[in-house]
Amino acid sequence: MNLNILHETAVAMVAPGKGLLAADESTGTIKKRFDKIGVENTEANRQIYRDLLFTTAGFEQHTSGVILYEETLFQKSLAGQPFPQLLASKGVIPGIKVDEGAKPLPAGGPDETVTEGLDGLRERLQKYKAAGARFAKWRAVISIGAHTPTHTAIHVNAHALARYAALCQEAGIVPIVEPEVLMDADNTVETCERVTEWILSAVFEELFVQRVALEGMILKPNMVVSGIKCPVQAGVAEVAERTIKVLKRHVPAAVPGIAFLSGGQSDLLATAHLDAMNKIGGVPWKLTFSYGRALQAAAQKAWSGKNVDAGRKAHLHRSKMNGLAALGQWSEALEKAA
């Protein structure tokens, strides 16, 4: 492990005004997105769509890196250039999702899962690095319910995240550590805050035990928000304040940056929350985005399998808006002007 190289890559991933495009949807997940816009889920259409994203002129001004799915890592652009080479030529760092999905946890509570994919990961990381990947991502999913999360779910997911991170650093790849507290229940913002503190505390304890160098990783957490079914929704200012409070309590200053997931938030709300946090400021890490749907939904709808130019315009706009939010310079007036 060369910690200097890992640290340099991690810092570049959270460069001022830039964030990560999460284009790592599995074949099954992207089918759901394509179904909504009437596009058949074929490998060719997935290639066309991701080519649209990666060839958008100017998106690299607001995008430090792209998280790829394994299929995409080994695909070529429509012009015949391997996608990792295309991204690198624009100064965008290629990354790769390496987990194999969340599976039911036999010893946990209802709807609890553990993310699998550690078996054979050491060998797969070497293959991914040879293909051009410089960072990786592993997502752990924590659900909130009447009797969840359980200690079992918190422990096994924190342990797996740390094992993955250690293997990445051994391979010279920066790990994105993603513990996601889901927002799809009816819980209050206070409950989300408590559970987020719990999982972050457990994750950093495991990272310490497994000797993960914090300077060579990126954290990708959820924001502290109300469950989507909760009748009382926390406002933008409250979400920003609570999220920063939790992070200050549980994330060491050695971590170079925090790239938030959007977790099902609307495009504008995800941007507004990030902007509000950066306007508060006073934190030791860079705060930026690692959005999937919140960056892509508008582009997918505008494209709909036919209009490439419209898709690129929508992609560039959302990239620019989130780039401004990462600087604390976004306003809703900019959306209206566009």
Closest to 265 (Cα-Cα) out of 257, 250, 251, 275: 275
Q: Per the structure block, which two tokens stand in for 160?
A: 């797996």
Which one of the listed residues 18, 97, 220, 286 is annotated catalytic? 220
Residues in the chain: 338
Closest to 190 (Cα-Cα) out of 227, 222, 165, 152: 227
Is residue 225 within 8 Å of residue 239, measured between CB atoms? yes
Which residues lie across from 218 on neighbouring strands? 176
Which one of the listed residues 178, 180, 193, 206 is annotated catalytic? 178
Closest to 224 (Cα-Cα) out of 237, 243, 208: 243
Type of residue at 124:
R
Closest to 255 (Cα-Cα) out of 218, 200, 289, 210: 218
Residue 190 annotated among the catalytic residues of the structure: no
Q: Where are the beta strands (DSSP E) in 9-60?
A: 19-23
Q: Where are the beta strands (DSSP E) in 164-303?
A: 174-181, 218-219, 257-260, 286-291
Q: Per the structure block, which two tokens stand in for 237?
A: 């200012």
Residue 170 annotated among the catalytic residues of the structure: no
Q: Which helix (H) or strand (E) holds 66?
A: strand 63-68
Alpha helices in 258-307 (DSSP H): 267-280, 293-303
Instruction: Report the catalytic residues.
Output: 178, 220
